[in-house]
Structure 1
Amino acid sequence: MEGSLLASAELFGGNRGVLSAAATGLSDFIGEKGGDADHILGISGVDPELLAQPTLSLNLANYCRVMEEAARHSGCDNFGLHYGKQFKPQSLGLIGYIGLCSNTLESALQNWVGAFPYHQHDTLIRLVDKGDCWRLDYQVRHGAILCRRQDAELTMGMVLNLVRHGAGKLWAPREVHFEHPQPEAWHEHCKAFDAQVYFDQPFNSMLIPKRDLQRPMPDSDPMLLMVMQDAIRRLNSQSSQQGLVDLARERVRQLLPQGEPALEDVAEPMGLSSWSLQRRLKEQGLSFTAVVEKVRCEMATYYLQQRQLPISQMALLLGYSEVSAFSRAFRRWFGISPRQWRKEA
C-alpha cells in the first residue's frame, strides 16, 4: 500500500486546494440523500473523475460549493453533518492514516493537525491549550469562499470519528462550536456529537479533554506513519502557491471592515509594491478596483443570507461609510435594493 500511495503522490502533480480523499463516497452519498450527483457536481465545477483518486487535487472553492449545493438540491439542510458522521478516518487517505498510525490519541490529533495544511490549503487548523482541554480550531480562509457551513460540519465530523476510533464510539467532546448561525434542525448537531453545540462562534472548534487522549491508537504503526507523512509532504512540494488574485482578495476581505481598502495596504503584506501589484493584476486582466468590487459583491450576498444581520451593519462590514453608498453599489450589481434581494431570496 505504501508504494502505491507514494507513486500516486508523484504522478498527479501536487495538491493545489484539497486532496480529493476529502470527497470519498460523495457521489453515492448525494444519491442517498435524494440529490442528482452529476448535476450537483457539474454546477459546482467538480470533475467526477477526480473523486476516484484520493491524491488528486480539487479546487477548494469548488469543494466547499459542492457541499452547499448538495444541501440545497437534496433538501438535506444538514448535509455536511450527516456526510461527516459516516466519514471514517481510513477514507481520508494520507491524512487519515497519519492519524490512525500514530502512537496515542493525543499524538494522533497533533500529527493530524500538523499534516492538515498539506491536505487542505488556505485553512486555519490549530490545537489551543485550554488547561485540561485541547481546543481544535478549524476555519477556511480563502478569499473566494464565504459559504462554508457544510464543510465546517463535515470536518468536525471527521475529527469526531478520528477520536472515537481510539476512544470508543461512545466518546463525546466537551463542547462543539460553529462559526455559522444556528440552523433550523440544530438538535441533530447535539445528537451527532452528544455534546452542547454553540453557533455564531469565532471559529469551528471542538473542546477535547486531555485525559481522554492518553489512550493508545489501536492501529499504531510508526513505520507506516513516517511513510504517510513523507508522501503528503512530497505531494505538496510539487504544488503551486496560492494565486496572486486569491491572496489579494483575501487581504481585501480582511481590510473591508476598516473602511475602503488602500492598494498599498493590500500589496505590502504580499511583499509587493503598489505598482507591482497593479502590474501583476493587469497581467490577469484585472484592476485593483475590480478585485475590491468583486469581493464586496460576493460578501454582500453572503451577509444578506444571514437574516439576523442588519443592512446598516452590513454596509460597515463591506467598508462603506454610509448605507446609501452600499445601496447604490448593490443596485449597480443586481438591479434591486439589498432589502428587495433579501425579501425575494
Structure 2
Amino acid sequence: MGANVVSFGYPSQGATDSEQEDVSMEKTTSSSWAMGIVKSLEMDGLDCQALFKELGLVYADLENPDARFPQDSMTRLWQRAVELSGNPAVGLNMARVVRPASFSVAGYALMSSRTLKEGFERLVRYQRIIADSADLSFRLLPEGYALILTVHGDLLPPTRQSAEASLAFALAFCGWLTGRPLHPRQVLIQGDQPKNVEPYKKFFHAPLTFNAPYDALVFDRADMEAPLPTADEAMAKLHDRFAGEFLARFASNRVTHQARQVLCRLLPQGEPKREAVAQSLHLSQRTLQRRLQEEGTSFQTLLDDTRRELAEQYLAQPQMTLLEIAYLLGFADPSNFFRAFRRWFDETPGEYRVRKAIE
C-alpha cells in the first residue's frame, strides 16, 4: 500500500492535538469509488496516471480493495480534470462506467435487493463504505422518492463534480439494474446553473433545479417500488453480512470505539474520568468531547452504555458474583450498580440473571 493511502489507528504520542485531529478525522473515499472516477476521466482522454503522480497519489493503490484516498485528494483530482478537459460537466462521465463494484459491497447489496426502494435504503445504510465525506438519505416526499446527497469537503470545499458524478452514477445504475432507461421526476443540483446546461438536460431528461439546498434525484414511486430482475434474497442477506462486517471494521477507527476500549480497560480500577480517557487517546478533554459529539454520543452516555453492555456479559458468567461485577464496572458502592442496573433493565441484576437462565 502506498504511503499516501489513509491508514487508521491511534495517533502518535508525539503529535500535536491539531495534527491528531487531521489524521483521525480525515474524510476518505474508497479505492473502488476512486477507480470509477479514474475510469470515467480516462474515457475522456485524461492521463490519470500522470495526474496521480502530480497529486502525490499512487495509481497502483486503486487495485487495493482496502485502500482509501483522502477526500481532499479527490477534490484536487476533480479540479485538475476540469482544468485539463475544459469540461465543467465532466462529473457526468461517471454514468459511462456503471458497475456494482464502484459502490463496493454496497453495490452488490443494492443489486440483490427486491426493489430500488429497498436497494437505496441499503445504500444509505452502507454509504460510509463508499465514502465518509457525504451524507445520503432516501425518503418519500409528496412528489416522489428522493435520493438526497450532501458532499462535505475536508480542508478543501468539495467540487460540484463530485456530487454530480454521484447523481449521474446512481441514475445510470438504476437503468442498468432495471434494464430500461429511468427518468427522474426532478433533479436538484446545489451548484449554480452552468453556462452550458445542455449536457445536464441531455443526460438527466428531467426538470433541473440549480442552486438547490442539496443534490438529489426525485423518482416516481412506481419506479422505486417495481421488482428488480436482479433480486436475490439469499445474496442480499450475504451482502448485508459482508457490508456489516466492513462497517464494523471501519467503526473501529472512530473515537467512540477507541474510547470504549479505554473505558473497558480502566473500569476495574474505578469510575474512569474523562481526563484519563482523553490522555490515553492523546487528546485534550475538549477535543475528545467534541469528537464524541460529532459521532452522536457524549462521554457520560458512552460510559453508561459501556457499563450496561459489560454488565450483560458478566451476568452471563454464573461463576461471577454480583459484588465482583459491580467492582469490575467501576462502581465503588454496589448499591450504585444496583440502581444503575434497574434503570437499564427495569429489574435487579439477580432477577435478570434468573430470567436469562430460564430463557
TM-score by length of 2: 0.60
1:175 to 186, 190, 193: 186
Picking from 70, 77, 80, the partner of 2:88 is: 77
1:271 Cα deviation after fit: 5.2
In the alignment, the residues of structure 2 paired with residue 271 and residue 242 of structure 1 have an alpha-carbon distance, to the nearest angstrom, of 7
What corresponds to 1:128 in structure 2? 139
CA deviations 1:129-184 (Å, max 9, x no partner) are: 21351111101224423132111111001210232234443220011111111222
Residue of structure 2 in register with 1:192 after alignment: 203
Deviation at 1:13, TM superposition (A): 7.8
1:15-34 to 2 correspondence within 5 Å? 17-34=28-45
Query: C-alpha separation between the residues in 1 aligned to 2:147 and 2:39?
Result: 29
Q: Which has the larger radius of gyration?
A: 2
Between the aligned partners of 1:165 and 1:270, the Cα distance in structure 2 is: 40
Paired amino acid for 2:254: Q
Secondary structure in 1 aligned to 2:117? helix
Q: Superposed, which structure 2 residues align to 1:3-22 within 5 Å?
A: 17-22=28-33
- Opposite residue 241 of structure 1, the aligned amino acid is R
Match of 2:244 in 1: 233
Q: 1:235 to 1:203 in 2, by over 3 A?
A: same
1:31-46 → structure 2 map (5 Å cutoff): 31-46=42-57
Provide the rounded CA distance (Å) in 2 between the counterparts of 1:122 and 1:27.
18
Counterpart for residue 164 of structure 2: 153
Alignment check: 8 A CA contact 1:99 1:162 kept = no
3-state secondary structure, aligned to 1:152? helix
CA contact (8 A) 2:104 2:130 kept: no
Map 1:276-295 → 2, pairs under 5 A: none
Cα contact 1:88–1:158 (8 A) shared by 2: no
1:1-22, CA deviations, whole angstroms, 9 ceiling, x for partnerless residues? xxxxxxxxxxx98997221111
> Which of 23, 42, 63 is residue 52 of structure 1 equivalent to?
63
CA distance change for structure 1 residues 16 and 181 in 2, over 3 Å: closer, same or farther? closer
SS in 2 for 1:24: helix
Structure 2 distance, partners of 1:82, 1:147, is 18
CA RMSD, Structure 1 to Structure 2 (Å): 3.1
1:204 and 2:215 are equivalent in the alignment: yes
Amino acid at match of 1:93: S
Matched letter for residue 212 of structure 1: D
* C-alpha separation in 2, matches of 1:44 and 1:232: 30
Give the alignment partner of residue 103 of structure 1, picking from 97, 114, 119: 114
Corresponding letter in the other structure for 1:192: F
Given the superposition, is the C-alpha separation of residues 43 and 198 from structure 1 closer, same or farther in structure 2, using an over 3 Å criterion?
farther
Q: Specify the SS of the correspondent of 2:155.
A: coil
Pick aligned residue for 2:98 from 87, 108, 116: 87
Question: Number of residue pairs matched?
Answer: 242
Letter in 1 for 2:105: L
Asked if the contact 1:85–1:154 (Cα under 8 Å) also holds between the matched residues in 2, the reply is no
Structure 2 residue runs without a partner (length 5+): 1-6, 10-25, 257-284, 294-359
Q: TM-score, normalised by structure 1?
A: 0.62
Identity %: 19
Question: What is the CA–CA distance in structure 2 between the aligned matches of 1:242 and 1:189, rounded to whole Å?
Answer: 41
CA contact (8 A) 2:40 2:97 kept: no
Cα-to-partner distance string for 1:246-294 (whole Å, 9 max, x where unaligned): xxxxxxxxxxxxxxxxxx999864459xxxxxxxxxxxxxxxxxxxxxx
For the 8 Å contact 1:134–1:210, the answer to whether it is kept is yes
